[in-house]
Structure formats: structure tokens, C-alpha cells
Amino acid sequence: MVNLTGKTQLLGIIGAPVEHSLSPVMQNAAIRYLKEDYIYVPFRVAPQNLETAIAGLATIGVRGFNVTIPHKQAIIPLLSEVTPTAKLVGAVNTVWRTEIGWKGTNTDIDGFLSPLKPLSRDWTKITPIILGNGGAARAVVVGLAQLGCPQIWVLGRNQDKLEQFSQSWQNTDLADALKVYSWDKLSQLIRETTLLINTTPIGMYPKIDQSPIDPSLIEQLSSEAIVYDLIYNPHPTQLLQKAKQKGLMIIDGLEMLAKQGAIALEIWLEKPVPIEIMTKSLRNYLNLD
């Protein structure tokens, strides 16, 4: 956004709460850099108002928007079209206008894969362990399958939710690849993985002293292992600090956050966008440097 005028176009994010979202920071940084006549605005939308809200966003000519908690699943039946990957994940985080109405996709998968794809690993020989079975874990499962991992192990603390998670993939191509385990199985499984991914919020600001796993378990990881924590604040988390001390490769959630946002902005603007500007704006905002 250079100057707000009558021609300025609207982008935004809907959620409840939406105050915590860092998307306005990075999206507006990229928009300013590109000198595009757009502005990206947070919209607090309560669950009961979702349908009215997206009809209203169409009426006022919003070009596209991101979707955050708690609307990522609920929005699917309200859209005219949903990409196959978003259907598979069961969640939409990016929406844009087409001639027939709103179309939705999920950019978290490519965001998650962004730091992994350049690595020269034989993913077909890796069985990743995912800690947690919430919304982000779903995008991670689809991403790992795209990468070529033949088996994916998901660990959760709540047996009922874990079963539901497992069931939700039953009629998909991922049914055979996915195995779910209770959290206490980690000590038996950890030696067999070289990719450990935390999708729980344990260790996230302000509870920065917490770690999803005991440091003694990190000692059991092979020296080849990568530890990937989706959390981006603090930077690094306790989990990543311990993994780094052991000399392991670590990946935090910042690149995923910037990349999923950059892909969304590319969809809306139909042109390449400066991801490094978006990452820099996040780092500045979070005082990470």
C-alpha cells in the first residue's frame, strides 16, 4: 500500500481471535515493497457469522483472504471450489475470487516443505515422526507424503482424537502410510526416525522453557536426524536448542510461515513476491535478530 485511495484493493485474514496473527505484518511489508495498491487487513469473524462475512467480503470486492482458527474447516462447504490438496488436508487457509465465486486452497503444505525440499535426502527411506495431531499436523502429513515418505508416524496424547485423526484418512491414498501411536511410545520409536517434527504448541512463547520431549530422548536420535519445530517464537525453541547442542540439523517455523503467506500473495497478485522481505518483516516484528 503506497497511499490509500478509492482504487486501493482489499486483502485480509478472517479468524477469531485474529489479533495474534502476523500475516498483516508480512503481507503489508511485501505489498509496500512491490508498491502495489493493496492493503491487507485483519477481520475478526465469529463462527456464527462466517457465511454472512464471506458473502459480505465478496460484496465489497475483497480480492482474497487468509483463513485462520476456527474457520479453516468450516469454510470449505461455503466455497464454490476447493483444490484437491486442501480437500485432502481438510482445511483451507487461502481464498481468492474467481468468476464462479470463492476458491480455496491450503498453502501450509508448500510452506512446510519449503525448507525440506532443497535438502539432499532420500525421503523414501525416512519414516518421520510427527508430534501432535491437530490442524498443522494434517498439512504436515500431506507434505511428507508428497515428499515421498512411505510411512508417517503421528503421536498424540488423546487416544480418541488420535483415532479420529487416523479414521479421517481412511478413504484416502494416505491410509496405509499413516500410523498413529500414543505419546508414551516415543521412547521406543525415536531411534528409528531421522526426521522429528513438532506440531504441538509446547515451547511456544510465553512458555518458552517447555519442550515437547525430554532432552534425554534427543540424545537417542541418530546424528543424521533433522529436528523441525513449527513454532517460530521463540527462536529457537527449547527443543531446537537441545537438538542443536547435539549437533543435529534444526529447522524452525519461520520459513514455513513466510512461505505459506508468500504463496497466498502470489495467488492474489498473480506475480512473484519477495519472500525475503516478508521473512525480514517477521524477524523485525518478533525481535529475532
Ligand X SMILES: NC(=O)c1ccc[n+]([C@@H]2O[C@H](COP(=O)([O-])OP(=O)(O)OC[C@H]3O[C@@H](n4cnc5c(N)ncnc54)[C@H](OP(=O)(O)O)[C@@H]3O)[C@@H](O)[C@H]2O)c1
Footprint of ligand X on this chain (CB under 6 A)? 108, 111, 132-137, 156-158, 161, 199-202, 204, 230-232, 253, 256-257, 260
Q: Provide the total of helices (H) and of strands (E) in the chain, helices listed first.
A: 11, 12
Secondary structure letter of residue 123 according to DSSP: G
Q: Using CB atoms, what's the residue nearest to ligand X?
A: 134
Taking the least distance from each CB to ligand X, the nearer of 248 and 257 is 257
The residue type at 99 = E
Catalytic residues: 72
To the nearest whole angstrom, how small is the minimum distance from the Cβ of residue 201 to ligand X?
4
Taking the least distance from each CB to ligand X, the nearer of 39 and 256 is 256
Nearest to 263 by CA among 121, 61, 85: 85
C-alpha cell at 145: 507424503
To the nearest whole angstrom, how small is the minimum distance from the Cβ of residue 224 to ligand X?
24
Taking the least distance from each CB to ligand X, the nearer of 182 and 284 is 182
To the nearest whole angstrom, how small is the minimum distance from the Cβ of residue 59 to ligand X?
30
Taking the least distance from each CB to ligand X, the nearer of 103 and 138 is 138
Secondary structure letter of residue 14 according to DSSP: E
Reported for 86-93, long-range contacts at CB under 8 A and 24+ positions apart, including other chains, are 88/142, 88/172, 88/174, 89/138, 89/139, 89/142, 90/138, 90/168, 91/135, 91/138, 91/139, 92/67, 93/66, 93/67, 93/68, 93/260, 93/264
To the nearest whole angstrom, how small is the minimum distance from the Cβ of residue 212 to ligand X?
7
**Cα separation, 208 vs 237, whole angstroms:** 7
Residues 85, 89, 94: CA angle, nearest 5 degrees:
70
Start-to-end CA span in the chain (Å)? 26
Taking the least distance from each CB to ligand X, the nearer of 87 and 157 is 157
To the nearest whole angstrom, how small is the minimum distance from the Cβ of residue 79 to ligand X?
20
